[in-house]
């Protein structure tokens, strides 16, 4: 069961359901154990018609994000732990499964600034779901904050390696 109280994940689940994409919502409360340590779960196991199957970790962000009066676009930070746990899942499930971060952007501001015109409305809020394969993200990321142990990809590069999930999965 997914955390439906988190609107970013609920919007993504609504998108999958509305498009008829088979998926399994993963219950974070049921953490798996790898080598005696608990490992963070991903959010969805998605089975699109276009292979491979995807292990999806949804990252909710505002687009744009208002930071002290400055609008920031394309926020794409993740916890450094997320890189390792998603790699562990990908390795554990083996061939036929790939890990992906899906940035579930709650959109506001002028539509011309939105990351894509492939938008999904959920509870009257427009969302864009930009996916990036773990391997691409890992290759391009850099440390964002040592204090928060986060990484991100510079915006210019992120815009090159991410694309709407509709394009990843042949739904456009």
Provide the CATH number for the domain around residue 132: 3.40.1350.10
- Determine, yes or no, domain membership for 117: yes
- Determine, yes or no, domain membership for 66: yes
- State the total domains in the chain: 1
* Residue-level pLDDT at 145: 92
Show Cβ contacts of residue 9 under 8 Å, excluding neighbours closer than 6 positions: 2, 3, 43, 58, 60, 104
DSSP 8-state secondary structure symbol assigned to residue 29: T
* Residue-level pLDDT at 27: 75
- Determine, yes or no, domain membership for 131: yes
* Residue-level pLDDT at 158: 98
Question: What is this structure's pTM?
Answer: 0.92
* Residue-level pLDDT at 32: 63
Peptide bond connecting 64 to the previous residue in cis, omega within 30 degrees of 0: yes
- Determine, yes or no, domain membership for 46: yes
**Rounded to an integer, what distance in angstroms lies between the CA atom of residue 122 and that of residue 137?**
27
Domain extent, residue 103, equals 7-168
Peptide bond connecting 52 to the previous residue in cis, omega within 30 degrees of 0: yes
* Residue-level pLDDT at 99: 98
Q: Chunked in runs of 10, what are the mean pLDDT values of the chain (172 residues)? A: 76 97 83 66 94 96 88 95 94 94 96 96 98 98 94 97 96 86
- Determine, yes or no, domain membership for 153: yes
- Determine, yes or no, domain membership for 98: yes
Contact 28, 4 (CB under 8 A): no
Q: What is the dihedral of CA 7, 23, 139, 8, to 10 degrees?
A: 0
- Determine, yes or no, domain membership for 2: no
- Determine, yes or no, domain membership for 16: yes
Query: Of 102, 96, 62, whose CA–CA distance to 82 is shortest?
Result: 102
* Residue-level pLDDT at 1: 43
């Amino acid at each position: 069961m997914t955390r439906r109280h988190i609107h970013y994940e609920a919007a993504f689940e609504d998108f999958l359901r509305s498009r008829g994409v088979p998926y399994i919502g993963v219950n974070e409360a049921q953490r798996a154990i790898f080598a005696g340590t608990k490992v963070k779960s991903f959010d969805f196991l998605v089975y699109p018609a276009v292979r491979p199957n995807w292990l999806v970790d949804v990252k909710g962000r505002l687009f744009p994000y208002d930071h002290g009066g400055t609008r920031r676009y394309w926020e794409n930070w993740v916890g450094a732990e997320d890189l390792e746990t998603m790699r562990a899942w990908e390795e554990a499930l083996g061939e036929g499964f790939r890990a992906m971060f899906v940035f579930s952007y709650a959109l506001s501001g002028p539509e011309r600034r939105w990351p894509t015109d492939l938008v999904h409305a959920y509870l009257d809020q427009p969302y864009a779901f930009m996916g990036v394969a773990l391997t691409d993200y890992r290759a391009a990321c850099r440390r964002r904050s040592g204090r928060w142990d986060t990484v991100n990809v510079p915006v210019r590069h992120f815009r090159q390696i991410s694309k709407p999930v509709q394009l990843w999965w042949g739904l456009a």
